[in-house]
Chain A
Amino acid sequence: MKKGLALYALAAYAFLHVPLLILAVFSFNSSRFAVWQGFSLQWYGAIARDRNLMESSLNSLIIAVAATITATVIGTLAAYGLWKRRTRGFAWLSGSFYLSLVTPEIVTGVSLLALFQWIFRFLHLRLGMHTVILAHVGFSLAYVVVVVLARLRSFDRTLEEAALDLGATEFETFWRVTLPYLAPAIAAAAMLAFTVSIDDYVITSLVAGVDSQTLPMVIYALARRGVNPALNAISTLIVVGLGVLVLLSERLRRA
């Protein structure tokens, strides 16, 4: 069965990565259109010269990292708090996580914009990176909470009780008993949060300020005009860059 599973995994990975392969191949196309005409590096040159693109990518990265760290930390804490003991006081919180998943993005975006505009009348602020990060943490939280809660549901409560009986404080119990158990779920949740943040277009474009153009916004603009090998080049670079990071961390782990 193990071999069957491995074969299946290979097919699944192929399904996930084949579009990327095609994008990579055409990123070296000398023609602008989706018909192969010859090998060329011109698109990589074009995006290297594009200042707007570089700035947007940096913004996206900053926003995603900030939002992921914040959402993962407070989301994990919230999941733990909700799991520890059901209090009616926080039932609305579970409901709000669920609601944030079902709300169409445009609705979230428009209503957040309206909220910010109303607040800004009193606070003399503008839309900017801070509003985007706040919005991103808002919609990533649900993903973190759902994943961590799922893992908590299969956690043995008696382990905590034993620790408490042995004299540990509540916080120590959490820190030394439960948290290590949650580690895989926290990693998975962080990956999910990063994913939803780095690729968000609708909400970001609505609450972004003048200084907070992100990569999805640039990509969307380019893509709306039709096939553009510069987009292929961008996504190939991202995949190769992150892929190298992933490989490196695997090597380091083995060493």
Chain B
Amino acid sequence: MNRRSFLMGTAAAAAACTRGPRLNIFNWSDYVAPDTISSFEREFGIRVRYGTYESIPEMLAKAMTGNSGWDVIFPSAEYIQPMRNMGLLAPLRHDWLPNLNALDDQFQHPPWDPDLAWSVPYMHGTTGIIFQQNLGWTPRAWSDLWDSRLTGKLTMLDDPPEVFAACLKTLGHSLNSADPGELKAAEQRAIAQKPLVRAYLNAEVRDQLVAGDVGVAQAWAVTAAQAMAAAPGRLAFAFPEEGFPRYADNVAVLRESSRIEAAHHFISYLLRPRVAAAIVETTRTATCNGAAHSLLPEALRNDPVLFPSREILARGEWFAPQSANSQRLRDRLWTEIKT
């Protein structure tokens, strides 16, 4: 075989591989319904590659290479500004997103992206305390998680912003605090709590709650809702009195992408009320799509854990981006807590 025929053969093979338009979507796991992607593929004739990640650092590591191959990503709200500053995001074209008004009004001009120029809110949530009804008493505030009666029965999230948030709130500070004094005090609280903590668990705590191994847990509302659905009547959820974190995951397009238009088709597709409602019925997460919310079955629509009242939500505080120095300090303190 000579070089010419080899090159032509390779070119032919490469061309065959790229038949038809494609779109590469990188999302959190468990965030779409089983038929969301396939329906999108059928309707638009675009072949989708769907990958998932479990943490923001994982997604960032790929995105920061500038050459990852992904088109659509789902960053959390507090990362939109930093990613914009790093030049990672492509600006959104609203003329390609006709149904933006399907979003709930509190998400039309969110604090992290008031003009929705870079992202579209997708799902949101809160963090609170989930506990067994048979505990004998009702935890109502973060400071209840330092009660020595909970030794060995308590789990906290394995997530630095969340643990800091709980500690800062018990001290009466903002959970986005960048003040070294406040952060160090929060660190001391976390270290003081360690002997009571059974383990630092994220979503895995759900099964332990259902099985009864864990008495009280700092948990995302989503996890709590799933656990409560699996063990009806045995578990309860509390939105801490001192205040609690709010987070939102958004859809965005990577600047490196060469399929901007297809990406917009997908975002627009996700904004369709029926599509969003179908996703929520599978994932049981709180959608930012107001029109979809009204299409949900009543039990889900009025779930107090997933969709709490405005009064409760007013006590919540959005995670905000940290300055580089504050981030450095927080990360260093987290290492000390965990070590």
Contact = CB atoms under 8 A, between A and B. Distances in A.
| Contact present between A and B (CB < 8 A) | yes
B324 interface: no
Contact of B30 (A35, A117, A126, A225): A225
B204 A213 contact: no
A217 B68 CA distance: 17
A136 B205 CA distance: 33
B311 interface: no
A206 B54 CA distance: 13
A209 interface: yes
Given A211-B49, A221-B29, A227 B207 contact: yes
Interface in A195-244: 205-206, 209-211, 213, 217-218, 220-222, 224-227
B58 A205 contact: yes
Nearest to B58: A205
Contact of B49 (A205, A206, A210): A210
Given A224-B204, A225-B29, A32 B69 contact: no
Interface residues of A, number: 27
Given A205-B58, A210-B24, A126 B67 contact: yes
Contacts of B204: 224-226
A64 to B, nearest CB: 20
Nearest to A120: B67
Interface in B154-188: none
Contacts of A175: none
A34 B211 contact: yes
A36 interface: no
Nearest to A114: B65
29 contacts: A32-B230, A34-B210, A34-B211, A35-B211, A49-B34, A52-B50, A110-B61, A113-B65, A117-B67, A120-B67, A127-B67, A127-B68, A205-B58, A206-B61, A210-B68, A210-B69, A210-B70, A213-B51, A218-B52, A221-B30, A221-B53, A222-B29, A224-B29, A224-B202, A224-B203, A225-B203, A226-B203, A226-B204, A226-B206
List the 10 closest A-B pairs by CB distance, nearest first.
A210-B69, A221-B29, A227-B207, A226-B207, A226-B206, A221-B52, A210-B24, A225-B203, A226-B204, A224-B54
Interface of A: 32-35, 49, 52, 110, 113, 117, 120, 126-127, 205-206, 209-211, 213, 217-218, 220-222, 224-227
Given A210-B49, A221-B53, 12 more contacts: A33-B210, A33-B211, A34-B207, A34-B210, A35-B210, A120-B67, A209-B68, A209-B69, A224-B54, A226-B203, A226-B205, A226-B207
